Structure 1
Amino acid sequence: MNHKEINSFYTYLQSQQTSQRFLYQCYKKIDGIDAEAKSYENCTVFMYYLDHGIKFYNAGKKLDILMQPILFFYGMVHLLKACLLTKRPNYPESTSVLAHGVSARKRKKKDYTFLEDEVKVQHNGLFPYVSQHLFFIHKMPFEKIMMKNLLGLIPDLSHLFHFNNQESMINVSKIGSHTIDFTSRVLDNYHLTERAFLERIKPYLPPIVEVKSNHTMFQIVLTKPILEPSGPFFVDDNQNIFFPTIRENFLVVSEVMVHYLLLYNLSMLSRYEAEWWGDLLITKPDVDYPFIAEFLRISAKKMPLLIGKELLKMK
C-alpha cells in the first residue's frame, strides 16, 4: 500500500475544482447520469466528507483513548460517504440509508467482556449500503458476530492472539508473490481434505498452476502474483498476506467492514456505558484493554489508507 501516494491524493482532492474533476471522471462511467451537472452538484459535499473524515482521525490521534472510538468511527463514516458519492451520485437516496445499519446489546451483563460481545447487522442503513455498493456484498455471511471473531480477522492483531496463547491468522504469502504456503494444520481446523480446501479458496486467487505438498505443509503455485487479495485473505501493514485459522472466520468481507463493526460497538460503549468504559481505561481489569487499545491504534492508521486506496482505484 503506497501510503505517500494515498495521502497525497487526499490532499489533491481538497479543492472544489479537483473534486469536481474527479467526480466527473467517476460519473462518466455511470449510465443515465449527467456527469457534468452531478459532479458540480456533489463536489463540495464530497470535499467536506473527506476533509472532516481526515480531521476526525487527526484529532482522535491526539486525544486520550477515552474519546478515540467516537472520533475514529465518525471519521470512518465520513470517508465512506465520500467513497459512496463516487459510485452513487444520488446518495442518500432515502432516509433508510442514513442509520448506522448495525445494533448492539442495549444493556451489558454484570460479567460483560468486550471480546464476548456481539453486534447485529440490520437490513437497512449505512453498513449494508456500503457493503453492497462499495464491496459488492449483497448478502452478509453473518447476521450476528462476536467481537473476538472480528478482531481475529485483523492481521495486524495476530501477534496479540499469539501472546494470549491463541492463533487467529497465519501468514501465508506476501503481496507480489506467486506462491501461498499453508501448514497441514489448517486442513484439520477446517475439517477439509486438501482438494476440498483448494476448491473453497480457489475463487479468491489467480489460477493455480500446481500444488506441492508433504506431511506438514502444502504450497500453491499461481499463474500471476497476488496483488489485490480479497475475501478470506487479509493484508497487514507490511504487505504480508494472512489467512484465518478458524473455520468460522472464513468470511468473504472487506477489512473495512470489520473495522466499521468494531468501531461502532466501541463508540457505543464509550458513549453509553460510562462505568464499564471508565473501569476499562483506569483499572485495565482484563484482556479486553490490550486488544481494544491496539485495535484503535491500528485502525486509526489503516482505515484512512484502505478507504483512500478505494478512491485511488477510481482515478
Structure 2
Amino acid sequence: MNKEDISLLFTYLQSQETAFDYLLQCYRRQNLPEAETKSYENAGALMHYIDHGRRFLTNARDTDILMMPVLLFYGMTHLCKACLLTKRPDYPETTAVLAHGVSTRKRKKKNYTFLQDEVKIQHNGLFPYLAKYLYAVGSFPFEKIRMEQLFSLIPELNQLFTFTNSQKLTAVGEKDSDQLYFPEKILDGYHLTEAAFIKRINKHAAGLTHVQTVSGYMEVVLSAPVNEASSPFFIHHETGIIYLPNDREHFLALPELLIHYLLLYNLSMVSRYETEWWGELLTARTEADFPFIRHFLHVTAEKVPLLLGKELLDQLEPESRK
C-alpha cells in the first residue's frame, strides 16, 4: 500500500467537484446507468464520508485508549460507506442496510474475557452488505466467531501470540512477489497431503502453479501477486510480509478489513456498555486481554485507512494512478 498516494487521494476528494469527477470515472468504468446524474447526487456524500471518517480516525489516534474503540469503529464505517458508494450509487437502498450487521451477547457471562467473547453475523446490515458488494463475499464460513481467532489473523499481532507459544501465522512470501513458499510442516496443521494442500490454496490464489519442494518448502508461482483483499493471506502493513494461518482451525477466507470490522464493533460495544469491565481492564490490567486490545487498537488506527484507501485508489483508471 502506497501511503502517500492514498493520503493524496483522500485530500483530492475533499471538494464537490473532484468527488464528482472521481465518481463519474468509477461509474463509467462499471457501465452503470445514469453515471453523470448519480455522480452529481453522490459527490457530497462521498466527500463527507471521507472527511468524517478521517477525522474520527485521526482523533482516535490522538485520544486516550478509553475512547479509541468508538472513534475507530465509526471512522472505519464512514470510509466503508465511501467505498460502497463507488460501487453502489443508490446506497443505502433500504433502512435494513443501515444496521451494523453483527451482534454480540448483551449480558456478559461471569468471569468474562474479551478474547473468548463472540460476535454473530446477521443477515442484514452493513457488515454482510460490505462483504458482498466490496469483496464479493456472499456467505461466511461461520455464524459466530471468537475474538481470539480474529486477533490471531492480524499479522501485526502475530508476535504477541509468539510470546505465548501459540503463534497463529506463518510467513509465506512478500507483497508484490509472484512466488510463495509454504513450509512442509504446515501440512500437519491442515491434516492434508501436499497435493491436497496445494489444491486448497489454489482456490484462493491467482493461477497458482506448484513448482517444486526444496529444503523443506513448497515453492509456488502465481499469475498475479497477493494483495490486501486476497484472503486467507494477510499482509503486514509495514514489512509487506505475507502470512497464512498455521492450521485449518484458523484458516479463514475473509478479507482483513472485515476482521477489523468485527473486532472494532465488539470493542466499541464493550467500551460503551460494559463500563465497569472496560474501566477495570484499562486501570487494573488484570486480564490477558489488555496487551492484545491495546496493540490492536494502535494497529487498526493506522491500517484501516490504508486498506480502505487502497479500495478507493483501485477504482481509478491505471493511467490516473501514475
Counterparts of 1:169-180 in structure 2, within 5 Å, are: 169-180=169-180
Q: What is the aligned partner in structure 1 of residue 85 from structure 2? A: 85
**Compared CA separation, residues 174 and 164, structure 1 to 2 (3 A):** same
The answer to whether the 8 A contact 2:207-2:224 is kept is no
The answer to whether the 8 A contact 1:84-1:91 is kept is yes
How far apart, in 1, do the equivalents of 2:131 and 2:209 lie?
Answer: 32
How far apart, in 2, do the equivalents of 1:37 and 1:146 lie?
Answer: 44
The answer to whether the 8 A contact 1:181-1:217 is kept is no
CA offset digits 1:192-220 (Å, max 9, x no partner): 00000000001222334443226x72222
Counterparts of 1:34-45 in structure 2, within 5 Å, are: 34-45=34-45
User: 1:151 Cα deviation (Å)?
Assistant: 0.5
| Equivalences, count | 314
SS for the counterpart of 1:173 is: strand
The answer to whether the 8 A contact 1:211-1:218 is kept is no
User: 1:308 Cα deviation (Å)?
Assistant: 0.3
Q: What is the aligned partner in structure 1 of residue 286 from structure 2? A: 285
How far apart, in 2, do the equivalents of 1:147 and 1:134 lie?
Answer: 23
How far apart, in 2, do the equivalents of 1:174 and 1:193 lie?
Answer: 25
SS for the counterpart of 1:134 is: helix
What is the TM-score when the length of structure 1 is the normalising length?
0.96
Q: What is the aligned partner in structure 1 of residue 221 from structure 2? A: 222
The answer to whether the 8 A contact 2:55-2:75 is kept is yes
What is the TM-score when the length of structure 2 is the normalising length?
0.94
SS for the counterpart of 2:103 is: strand
How far apart, in 1, do the equivalents of 2:82 and 2:8 lie?
Answer: 16
Q: What is the aligned partner in structure 2 of residue 46 from structure 1? A: 46
Q: What is the aligned partner in structure 2 of residue 189 from structure 1? A: 189
How far apart, in 2, do the equivalents of 1:143 and 1:247 lie?
Answer: 17
CA offset digits 1:273-297 (Å, max 9, x no partner): 0010000000101210000000000
User: 1:165 Cα deviation (Å)?
Assistant: 1.3
How far apart, in 2, do the equivalents of 1:118 and 1:286 lie?
Answer: 17
User: 1:116 Cα deviation (Å)?
Assistant: 0.5
User: 1:226 Cα deviation (Å)?
Assistant: 1.8
Q: What is the aligned partner in structure 2 of residue 74 from structure 1? A: 74
The answer to whether the 8 A contact 2:122-2:128 is kept is yes
Q: What is the aligned partner in structure 2 of residue 261 from structure 1? A: 262
User: 1:32 Cα deviation (Å)?
Assistant: 5.3
Give the AA of the match of 1:188: D
How far apart, in 2, do the equivalents of 1:264 and 1:282 lie?
Answer: 22
CA offset digits 1:60-81 (Å, max 9, x no partner): 1111000000000000000000
Counterparts of 1:1-315 in structure 2, within 5 Å, are: 1-31=1-31, 33-213=33-213, 217-224=216-223, 226-228=225-227, 230-237=230-237, 238-315=239-316
Give the AA of the match of 2:221: L
The answer to whether the 8 A contact 1:97-1:124 is kept is yes
SS for the counterpart of 1:167 is: coil
User: 1:54 Cα deviation (Å)?
Assistant: 0.1
Give the AA of the match of 1:13: L
CA offset digits 1:77-123 (Å, max 9, x no partner): 00000111100000000010000000001111121111000000000
The answer to whether the 8 A contact 1:259-1:299 is kept is yes
The answer to whether the 8 A contact 1:175-1:225 is kept is no
CA RMSD of aligned residues (A): 1.4
The answer to whether the 8 A contact 2:208-2:222 is kept is yes
How far apart, in 1, do the equivalents of 2:222 and 2:42 lie?
Answer: 42
SS for the counterpart of 1:204 is: coil
Give the AA of the match of 1:171: A
How far apart, in 1, do the equivalents of 2:259 and 2:220 lie?
Answer: 29
How far apart, in 2, do the equivalents of 1:222 and 1:93 lie?
Answer: 42
The answer to whether the 8 A contact 2:49-2:78 is kept is yes
SS for the counterpart of 1:221 is: strand
The answer to whether the 8 A contact 1:101-1:128 is kept is yes
Give the AA of the match of 2:255: S
Give the AA of the match of 1:37: T
Give the AA of the match of 1:267: S
The answer to whether the 8 A contact 1:24-1:39 is kept is yes
Segment of structure 1 superposing worse, 170-179 or 28-37:
28-37
Task: Note the residue ranges of structure 1 that are not aligned, 5 or more in a row.
Answer: none
CA offset digits 1:33-60 (Å, max 9, x no partner): 2111111111001100000000000111
SS for the counterpart of 1:28 is: helix
How far apart, in 2, do the equivalents of 1:83 and 1:259 lie?
Answer: 16
Give the AA of the match of 2:297: L
